[in-house]
Structure 1
Amino acid sequence: MTTKQPWLSDPQKEIGLILAPSLLPVVAIFIFQDYFISHEVSSFWWVLLVLCIDVSHVYSTLFRFYWDKPTFVKYKSLLITIPVTAFLIGAGLHFYDSMLFWRILAYVAAFHFVRQQYGFIRLYSRKEAASKLFRTIDTVAIYNATLYPLLYWHLHLTSKLSWFVQGDFVALKSIIASDIVQGIFIVIIVFYMLKEAWVSYQNKLLNIPKNMIMLGTYLSWYVGIITFQGDLIFTLLNVVAHGIPYMGLIWIHGEKKAPGFSFGWKGIAIFMTILLGLAYFEETLWDILVWKDHPDIFPFFTAHDPLDNPFILSVIVPLLVLPQITHYVLDGFIWRFSKDSQARI
């Protein structure tokens, strides 16, 4: 019988950094929906959501794996092999077909976002003495929260949404399939709610963090993809619910391992300055060499045209996405690594 909530470290930090980011933006969307429906991703929103959260959270991987000496030494071969292999595959793929490159990257990114929610559910149910059936229901329920909206996206493909570039997801239009998966979606929710009600009654305790993760995942993915289909709403809900909890987990891990890694203003300033500096540098290169779509944010070499040589682009683009790809792949290991002797989460 569980006697207390399965917090990782500090409940207040986890509520603010891991649980709230998937819930509060949904509330904001409904309160100010007229604004969010009528506006696109402006320069302000791009800086806040893409630069400060989405790109920055990718570089927090450096704190977890590459700048943590015991972890790097232990997994050195893997941590070097992953980016080298990713670059070689990416370069070959982009040279062969650039659209196929972006499409595969979009699906890898979506898988990464889906898996992160599963990882958090596993972390917050680690102390539950649950049967295999109940653990399976948890797993199916969290995947249901993310995969159904993604299936809906494919079945109702719209020009209003894209992950990286327009048309990166494949259209699978089918009214019959849409009705079937919607029914399955509802049935899984009912099963999960009944299971949680029974477990909570038996244990005389509701697992709050696990169920907040579950609720936040359902709300942010459903509202961002199905209820509303605007780019600003999707980006807000998708990025905030993913990026901030990831950085929060990295921070909590750092506090547990390094005595001087404290949640004070100085620590936050150093942490965020490093992430923002790296993110701005990367996006500067993207804007100068490839996109040329944010001259107000990156006022450098604006008179020069973007690169158009296929061979050079097939080197530059995979090189620029390398931090993302490495981050995506390593995310599949972070939950396993959390069990090693050096990582006490």
Structure 2
Amino acid sequence: MFKTGFILGRRDDLIWFLLMPFFAVAVALACQHWLSAIAMVSVGLCITIPHHFVTWLRAYGTKEDWQRWKLRLIVGPVVLFALVLAGLTWAPWTLFLVLILWDHQHTIMQQYGFARIYDFKAKSGGLRTPRFDLSLFWILFVNLFVTAPLFTRFWVRELYRWNLPVSVATVEIIQTVSWCLTGLFLCFYLIHIIRSLRSGDSVNPIKFVFIGSSFFLWYFTSWHTDSILMYGIAHRLMHGLQYIVIVYWYLRRKQQSRDPVDRDRVAGLVQPGKVLRFVAACLVYAVLYQLIVGQPLERFGFGVVNFAGQFSYDETFAVYAEAIISFAGVTHYYLDSFIWKVRDERIQEGL
């Protein structure tokens, strides 16, 4: 039996989750055609940095979560900052690889989390569905990394750096095997869906539309061009905007479910009809962040306008700036690893 369920609602899901990947690809194509590479930096400032900010709101903005995870919320970032400083000092390349790998894992888990919310809202899926869905995300993403021209050059180059040269024939064999394994798993996944339906479990078709649109963005941008610009812009738009939207609605629902006297301070940013206040707070944070790391404000201009002079700073400040940038990213990954467990009944209250 098919049961439809939406994260926000039919119209809002269509805008933010189902059509967003196509919009992001269109914007990326436009940026690639008309703008310089600075456009990707601008998207990062306008979208990625604010999506870090809403993570801080989500994790530290409510008394309930602070009381639940106080030790994690205090000790975790302190340890991460120490590790980032150590990595920048003694093993910068290792730190870079860890950040890249964690970022990809975080990307997969965010979209997987949305898939779980779709099943939660529709009360669909069986006991084995989460495991099959997670495997689907990992296998499709690994296949993308192995076979797409955008990423092939990176892992082939790294093999050469490790003194493991591979021939063109070897690369083709690896990619063929990857496609075969992916196709085989998709067959098993289809069998799982059929068995679920026959056993009486319901299936939410909207979830599969969401998964398909997400992977359309990644596969299209990775196969369309070998430039990281288009992939980076499209991915950051989809990933960041979807995250900002779900945090906004989560906090809003949480605050509305409480008596006015029991609401948190963050309630002022998520009141109905006050969405511009929430957006303004995100942009102010992005500006402050840019000033703290000593980067020019002109990078908000997508390479079209130049309204601020270049900053100049010494090597010591450069390390400090890189530490702040890396710390913000890893802390976001860390917090997201435990504040979005869809099976948690307290979290379900905001979904």
Shift of 1:135: 4.3
Summarize the Cα distance change of 1:262–1:74 in structure 2 as closer, same or farther, 3 Å threshold. Answer: same
Aligned with residue 124 of structure 2, among 109, 124, 128: 128
Which structure 1 segments of 5+ residues have no match?
Answer: 160-165
**What secondary structure is seen at the aligned counterpart in 2 of 1:183?**
helix
Q: Report whether the alignment pairs 1:22 with 2:17.
A: no
Summarize the Cα distance change of 1:337–1:208 in structure 2 as closer, same or farther, 3 Å threshold. Answer: closer
Is contact 1:60-1:275 (8 Å) kept?
yes
The one-letter code matched in structure 2 to 1:323 is A
Whole-Å Cα distance in 2 between the matches of residues 285 and 129 of structure 1? 46
Greater Cα offset, 335-344 or 139-148: 335-344
Corresponding residue of 1:286: 293
The one-letter code matched in structure 1 to 2:344 is K
Q: Report whether the alignment pairs 1:323 with 2:328.
A: yes
TM-score (norm 1): 0.79
**What secondary structure is seen at the aligned counterpart in 1 of 2:107?**
helix
Corresponding residue of 2:70: 76
Corresponding residue of 1:156: 152
Greater Cα offset, 329-338 or 60-69: 329-338
**What secondary structure is seen at the aligned counterpart in 1 of 2:314?**
coil
Shift of 1:194: 5.2
Is contact 1:22-1:219 (8 Å) kept?
yes
Shift of 1:198: 6.3
Corresponding residue of 1:269: 276
Summarize the Cα distance change of 1:43–1:93 in structure 2 as closer, same or farther, 3 Å threshold. Answer: closer
Summarize the Cα distance change of 1:258–1:199 in structure 2 as closer, same or farther, 3 Å threshold. Answer: same
Shift of 1:17: 2.2
Aligned with residue 97 of structure 1, among 64, 88, 91: 91
Whole-Å Cα distance in 1 between the matches of residues 275 and 71 of structure 2? 31
Whole-Å Cα distance in 2 between the matches of residues 68 and 137 of structure 1? 33
Corresponding residue of 1:341: 346
Is contact 1:307-1:313 (8 Å) kept?
yes
Deviations 1:259-280 (A, max 9, x none): 263452xx22111111111122
Aligned with residue 312 of structure 2, among 291, 305, 310: 305
Corresponding residue of 1:162: none
Is contact 2:144-2:219 (8 Å) kept?
yes
Aligned with residue 178 of structure 1, among 167, 175, 178: 175
Is contact 1:70-1:342 (8 Å) kept?
no
Whole-Å Cα distance in 1 between the matches of residues 253 and 292 of structure 2? 35
Summarize the Cα distance change of 1:225–1:319 in structure 2 as closer, same or farther, 3 Å threshold. Answer: same
Q: How does 1:177-326 map to 2 (within 5 A)?
A: 177-193=174-190, 195-196=192-193, 199=196, 207-259=204-256, 261-264=270-273, 267-288=274-295, 299-300=308-309, 302=310, 305-309=312-316, 313-326=318-331
**What secondary structure is seen at the aligned counterpart in 1 of 2:340?**
helix
Between the two proteins, the alignment pairs up a number of residues equal to 323
Aligned with residue 139 of structure 2, among 138, 144, 160: 144
Is contact 1:5-1:209 (8 Å) kept?
yes
Deviations 1:134-166 (A, max 9, x none): 54332222222322222336961259xxxxxx9
Summarize the Cα distance change of 1:338–1:192 in structure 2 as closer, same or farther, 3 Å threshold. Answer: closer
The one-letter code matched in structure 2 to 1:25 is A
The one-letter code matched in structure 1 to 2:227 is G
Whole-Å Cα distance in 2 between the matches of residues 228 and 150 of structure 1? 14
Corresponding residue of 1:112: 106
Shift of 1:38: 4.3
The one-letter code matched in structure 1 to 2:228 is D
TM-score (norm 2): 0.78
Which structure 2 segments of 5+ residues have no match?
Answer: 257-266
Q: Report whether the alignment pairs 1:63 with 2:57.
A: yes
Corresponding residue of 1:11: 10
Summarize the Cα distance change of 1:211–1:319 in structure 2 as closer, same or farther, 3 Å threshold. Answer: same
**What secondary structure is seen at the aligned counterpart in 2 of 1:225?**
helix
Whole-Å Cα distance in 2 between the matches of residues 94 and 298 of structure 1? 32
Is contact 1:284-1:298 (8 Å) kept?
no
Summarize the Cα distance change of 1:136–1:83 in structure 2 as closer, same or farther, 3 Å threshold. Answer: closer
Is contact 2:80-2:331 (8 Å) kept?
yes
Whole-Å Cα distance in 1 between the matches of residues 24 and 326 of structure 2? 27
Aligned with residue 54 of structure 1, among 45, 48, 57: 48
Deviations 1:163-188 (A, max 9, x none): xxx98xx8885332222112222333
The one-letter code matched in structure 2 to 1:279 is A
Summarize the Cα distance change of 1:307–1:109 in structure 2 as closer, same or farther, 3 Å threshold. Answer: farther
Is contact 1:19-1:216 (8 Å) kept?
yes
Is contact 1:56-1:276 (8 Å) kept?
yes
Summarize the Cα distance change of 1:120–1:318 in structure 2 as closer, same or farther, 3 Å threshold. Answer: same
Shift of 1:76: 1.1
Identity %: 17
Summarize the Cα distance change of 1:308–1:64 in structure 2 as closer, same or farther, 3 Å threshold. Answer: same
